[in-house]
Amino acid sequence: MLSINAAVSDLKRLDLLANSDSPIHALDARAKVLVTIIFSISVVSFDRYELARLLPFFIFPAVMIAYANLPPLYFVKKIAFISPFVLMMGLFNPIFDRAVMYHIGPLGISGGWISLISMLIRSLLTVGAAFILVGTTGFTAVCQALERCGTPQIFTLQLLFLHRYIFVLADETGRTARARELRSCGRKGRGIASFGSLAGHLLLRTWQRAEHIHTAMRARGFIGRFHAHRRSHFGVTGLCFVLGWTFLFITLRIYDLPGILGALFTGILP
């Protein structure tokens, strides 16, 4: 139960960060969404064996966190949380791809390990950019920006409902778990066999809660749109923000900046 409450509080904190006041928060949501999409496309377009050329892309989350006055440790923990899942997806890369690509002294590093690390870096960059986007914009504003950029309304509406009522589901789960603990005298009824009944009761409770929420929304005249707390305008500042970051991402994608800097420092120019 404590873990459920902690997860819900963590999600709420991410939304609360979007209410801060900074130059990044004041930008139009569409500008930040477009930059994040271009950033993600640039990162994932690299070859699976690329490592060094991915490192300069860390400048984007670093600058965004600094200028938006976001807590760095919070985002580092959020991003690090997905690392085990990424490692599980690439767990068999070193087994099937054993061709040695680099040597560090007598130690040979296979392509499988390179691709695994590359997958981890790209996942951390893209997921981190998504967290920063929500932390500087708010989930509602992000969905509205996607809709204004051409995303079907039914898709953005489903995302909004999923985000809003995951808190309702977590609340019902916490109440059910609390009731189960209070009725488990001497730890009876807390085994695996009780999870079937627990899941069934949770389904019925959330179904009933959803009907009440739907009735309340209809009574208040809901017409399929949520309203963001922050109003912004896509002006010259937003355009410069998009063009500046896009130019940097395209430059980093086309040119091997780490290789060029390494050649300059070693004196071996191509």
Q: Is residue 9 domain-resident?
A: no
Q: Is residue 6 domain-resident?
A: no
Query: Based on the domain organization, do 155 and 62 belong to the same domain?
Result: no
The 10s digit of each residue's pLDDT in 197-210 is 777 777 777 778 77
Q: Is residue 4 domain-resident?
A: no
Provide the residue range defining the domain that includes 81. 16-138+230-256
Write down the pLDDT at residue 62. Answer: 93
Angle ∠(239,240,242) on CA atoms, nearest 5? 65
- What residues contact residue 75 under an 8 Å CB cut-off, 6+ apart? 61, 65, 128, 131, 132, 135
Q: Is residue 262 domain-resident?
A: no
Q: Is residue 23 domain-resident?
A: yes
What whole-number distance in Å separates Cα of residue 2 and Cα of residue 60?
34
Query: Based on the domain organization, do 124 and 161 belong to the same domain?
Result: no
Write down the pLDDT at residue 241. Answer: 94
Query: Based on the domain organization, do 134 and 114 belong to the same domain?
Result: yes
The number of folded domains in the chain is 2
Q: Is residue 268 domain-resident?
A: no
Query: Based on the domain organization, do 51 and 166 belong to the same domain?
Result: no
Write down the pLDDT at residue 40. Answer: 94
Write down the pLDDT at residue 194. Answer: 64
The 10s digit of each residue's pLDDT in 54-109 is 999 999 999 999 999 988 888 888 887 777 887 787 777 777 777 777 767 777 77
Query: Based on the domain organization, do 56 and 134 belong to the same domain?
Result: yes
Q: Is residue 24 domain-resident?
A: yes
What residues in the chain have per-residue pLDDT under 70?
Answer: 1-11, 103, 184-196, 224-232, 267-270
Query: Based on the domain organization, do 238 and 116 belong to the same domain?
Result: yes
Write down the pLDDT at residue 1. Answer: 47
Query: Based on the domain organization, do 114 and 244 belong to the same domain?
Result: yes
Write down the pLDDT at residue 244. Answer: 95
- End-to-end Cα separation, the chain, in angstroms: 60
Query: Based on the domain organization, do 189 and 75 belong to the same domain?
Result: no
Q: Is residue 243 domain-resident?
A: yes
pTM (predicted TM-score):
0.80
Query: Based on the domain organization, do 208 and 235 belong to the same domain?
Result: no
Query: Based on the domain organization, do 100 and 199 belong to the same domain?
Result: no
